[in-house]
Structure 1
Amino acid sequence: MASLSSYVDFSQPSLWLSIASILFNPTFWNIAARSEYHNKTLTRLAGGNALYGCYALAATIFCLGLVRDAIYERALRFQPAHPALLGFVPQALAAGLVVSGNVLVLTSMWALGITGTYLGDYFGILMDEIVTGFPFNVTGSPMYWGSTMSFAGTAIWFGKPAGLVLTFVVFAAYSVALRFEDPFTAEIYAKREREQKAGSKKAK
């Protein structure tokens, strides 16, 4: 039975560069968003305009995502393929994962808008209410899991086990990020609700 190293070339620098970019992105945007929330760092850099600061962060995150995806695709080129991942059934599965993943990502962006997608809550740009319709009635984090599905689908499409290893890194990175993001975001909205209740009591 072939070992993992037979189908994953760990000596390729592109593989490690891909791992680094996958881990860097959520780390970067969480640090940047926390810095904005506590110190208004990006708002100050944007001349005191929170919306412009959020747009700048959105553009940065989007570009970093393109770079990460390009590095991932390049890493797969230098990795061996596995026969079990080649053929009609794996290709159909791959296509299904990529299409489904992109549906989750794009529909969540449509539902949230730019500021809702790209951490506008940390800038004080809060949504009127929590989005509960599709795709958020399927998963609470459609952007993350849709992206993970696309990584897996791409790995299978090219028949590269190394891509599945990298997909696991994506899954792990997003899982850790959510442990920080979800409670923090929930507290931001809970704080607004407390302030609104306190304000309504004073008005009475």
Structure 2
Amino acid sequence: MSLLASLAQYVDFDQQSFYISAASIAFNPTFWNIVARKEYRTKFLTRLFRGNRQLACYALAVTIFSLGIFRDYLYERALRDQPSHPALETDLAKYVAYALLAVGNILVISSTYQLGITGTYLGDYFGILMDGIVTSFPFNITNAPMYYGSTMSFFGAAFLYGKPAGFLLSLHVLIVYLIAIQFENPFTEAIYAKRDQERAKAAGKEDKKDL
């Protein structure tokens, strides 16, 4: 019997918590992308906070962060309802778990530090743009350190609890994030390209005035 077949035998697909966790994993990036794009086009959150786009962004940040905490709770609950695999209840599995959790958290925390709150939580969609592209660690490793770091943490928890179901949910996390990147990156690039065009036009007008 192959390793994958062996692991699959230890996944209880009759547990409702498994599907609830999967749904919450898919919901979060879907939610923040829909809300952020609506904000970019209509400024409905900024208007709600009386034109204070900084405060509106912080409110969205708190919402996204809270949803993330709830998602993690549902994931942990799903793992507790699943059977453990004997091969994952070893010291080696625990070492792998701690390594994945450590590296994953380093990527998430360092990327948040580099971007700040507004840079991390979609400030671009509120018109709060950064001066330039961040290229220092961890962005010199990957252009989506928060997503990959989060995925590593999910896999780390699966190893820590010894649950094959956690591997399936972690793979689901990775797929959801990869899809989100395909939507987010082009949109963000377009926002900054528009900003650069506006700056170039403004600079051109100033040059004409000087003449």
TM-score by length of 2: 0.95
Instruction: List alignment gaps of at least 5 residues for structure 1.
Output: none
Which of 1 and 2 has greater Rg? 2
**Alignment of 1:195 onto 2:195:** no
How far, CA to CA, are the matches of 2:112 and 2:98 in structure 1? 21
Measure, in 1, the Cα distance between the counterparts of 2:92 and 2:142. 26
CA distance in 1, matches of 2:49, 2:17: 35
Report the CA distance between 1:89 and its aligned residue. 1.3
Aligned positions of 1:42-191 closer than 5 A: 42-191=45-194
Q: Give the Cα separation in 1 of the matches to 2:31 and 2:194.
A: 25
Is the CA contact (8 Å cut-off) linking 2:61 and 2:121 kept in structure 1?
A: yes
Q: 1:19–1:90: structure 2 CA closer, same or farther, 3 Å change rule?
A: same
AA aligned to 2:36 is: A
Residue 17 (str. 1) matches residue 26 (str. 2): no
Which residue is equivalent to 1:8?
11
Letter in 1 for 2:79: L
Q: 1:116 Cα deviation (Å)?
A: 0.2
Distance of 2:158 and 2:79 partners within structure 1 = 8
Shift of 1:3: 5.3
Amino acid in structure 2 at the alignment position of 1:172: I
- Asked if structure 1 preserves the Cα contact closer than 8 Å seen for 2:7 and 2:85, the reply is no
Match of 1:28 among 31, 36, 58: 31
Question: Hey, what's the Cα distance between the residues in 2 that align with 1:146 and 1:5?
Answer: 25
TM superposition shift of 1:6: 2.0
Identity of aligned residues (%): 59
Provide the aligned length of Structure 1 versus Structure 2: 204
CA contact (8 A) 2:8 2:164 kept: no
Give the SS at the match of 1:131.
coil
Secondary structure of 1:138's aligned partner: coil
